[in-house]
Amino acid sequence: MKIQVVMLIAKQFFKKTFNTKGLLALFLVFISALMYVTFNGWNAFENKHHSIENHQDKARKSWEENPDKHPHRMAHFGTFAFRVQHPLSIFDSGIESYTGNSIFLEAHRQNTANFSEASLSSGLIRFGDLNIAMLLQLILPLIIFFIGYSAISSEKENGTLKIFYSQGLNMKEILLGKSLGLFFVSGLFFIPGLLALWSIAFIDFEGVHSSLMKRVVLISIFYIVFYLILTFVTVLISGISTNSNRALLSLLGGWLLFFIIIPKTAQVVGNSLYPNLSKIEFRAAVEEEVSKRGDSHNPNDPYFINLKDSILVANDVKDVNDLPFNYGGFIMSKGEEQTAIIYNIMHKKLINSYRNQNSVPNILVVLNPYLAIKNLSMGLSGTDFNTYVSFLNQTENYRYKQSQYMNELQMKFISNKAKSSEGKVHVVDKEYWKSAPKFDYRFISISNTINNQILGIMALCFWCLLIFFSIVKFSNRFKII
């Protein structure tokens, strides 16, 4: 195989396609759509980012401006935690529109995330959020199929394929040359999309700038590999088809099957095989389990009566008033600990049910490169399911620590003689509210993201090897007429 011949065929295909009148119109339409979604993505991100920062600051200010108060009342006053969007959500919004972005944090109760964009929008959002990644994942493959469906089939119909053979060329060189030529043409479309992606990397976003460039580089590499696979598959389909019409129908059918039907069907199958509890059912299940273990607010609860007796014995006193710490705060801390353990167990089961649902389309990434690039794009953009679960875990961890901090204040500063948390006598100085740590949300590291998406990376590598093997082993079996 001669590299010069392959490059000559690629150059000839690029020139021929580039001079096509319809390509310019298609390119202008695509670039216009790309500019629109990029501008819209930037605008939406800035608005949401400023809104989240503003609301988070207000929530913290409201917390710190509370007057001197009993710690238990303060624990129930609670605060809000908001999910900061990753800058790369401009590129790929993933499941951002369908997940809540704020959680109310309070003692003894784990609330769910609320105020998702989907819940506040019309049903049209079910068709997907228009963004740069959607154009690159769904629309551009269709354009590549339209450009390259006749790459070899037209040569068969015109009889020029025989001339190539008579000049000493073989099918392997022709397939590689046409594929590279189609890849260069597709670069006219995906390079502007990747430039829009790279524009995000040069903005200094606090807390993520150090890893932003690495994420952008990885996303770019994976998309380039994805388009290499698409262009080679397109030319292979064109080569095995008897005419251009069959090649086009095969590619369009493949696009409909692999990009639309399989992903949607896989999700429906996953939901059917692994049903999950609704929000109300989950809350009811948690409360039922908590009621079985004991109620820290009920002084006559058997579990906490036994705990009381053991504490009195351990401290060698006969009455809780003689304990060196506030007994009510101690009971609240034990109740909080017990509730948190139950919730975490139940929540883990719920998350596992969602993971099982997602396992069906995730397994199919081996057979479907679209699902592979989709998962990799969302994961590296910080907009996938794992990122959302990380936010939920971080908020629960923060809520628990904050509640226990209030319980520690009660144990340390409130007298056992206090009969209730009402009034202005048994209170803690408001300066302690400011000492409570702020919620600091952290995105999943790149290494963890790679580990979560290792199957998608292997799938892209598998498709590259499969295509290379097909060209090497079966190219000579292609018919030239």
Q: Among 18-22, 76-80, 458-462, whose mean pLDDT is lowest? A: 18-22
Q: How far, in Å, CA of 294 to CA of 341, rounded?
A: 13
Q: Which residues on neighbouring strands pair with residue 110, listed in sequence order?
A: 105
**How confident is the model over 297-320, as a mean pLDDT?**
81
pLDDT above 80: residue 352: yes
pLDDT of residue 299: 64
Q: CB of 41 within 8 A of CB of 90?
A: yes
Retrieve residue 54's tokens.
Answer: 């503003």
Residue 169, domain extent: 3-477
For residue 347, the one-letter residue type is H
Q: How far, in Å, CA of 373 to CA of 267, rounded?
A: 17
Higher local confidence (pLDDT), 64 or 122? 64
For residue 59, the one-letter residue type is A
Retrieve residue 106's tokens.
Answer: 């309070």
Q: CB of 414 within 8 A of CB of 328?
A: yes
Query: pLDDT grade, residue 311 (50/70/90)?
Result: confident
Q: How far, in Å, CA of 406 to CA of 329, rounded?
A: 8
Please, what is the average pLDDT of the chain?
87
Top-ranked range on mean pLDDT: pick from 206-215, 280-289, 295-304, 387-396: 387-396
Query: Per-residue DSSP letters for 141-179?
Result: HHHHHHHHTTTTHHHHHHTHHHHHHHTT--HHHHHHHHH
pLDDT of residue 109: 83
**How confident is the model over 186-196, as a mean pLDDT?**
95
Burial of 42 (0-12, 13-18, 19+ CB in 10 A): middle
Of 76, 72, 77, 73, whose CA–CA distance to 329 is shortest? 72
Determine what percent of the chain is predicted with pLDDT higher than 70: 90
**How confident is the model over 156-166, as a mean pLDDT?**
78
Q: Which residues on neighbouring strands pair with residue 103, listed in sequence order?
A: 81
Q: How many separate domains does the chain show?
A: 1
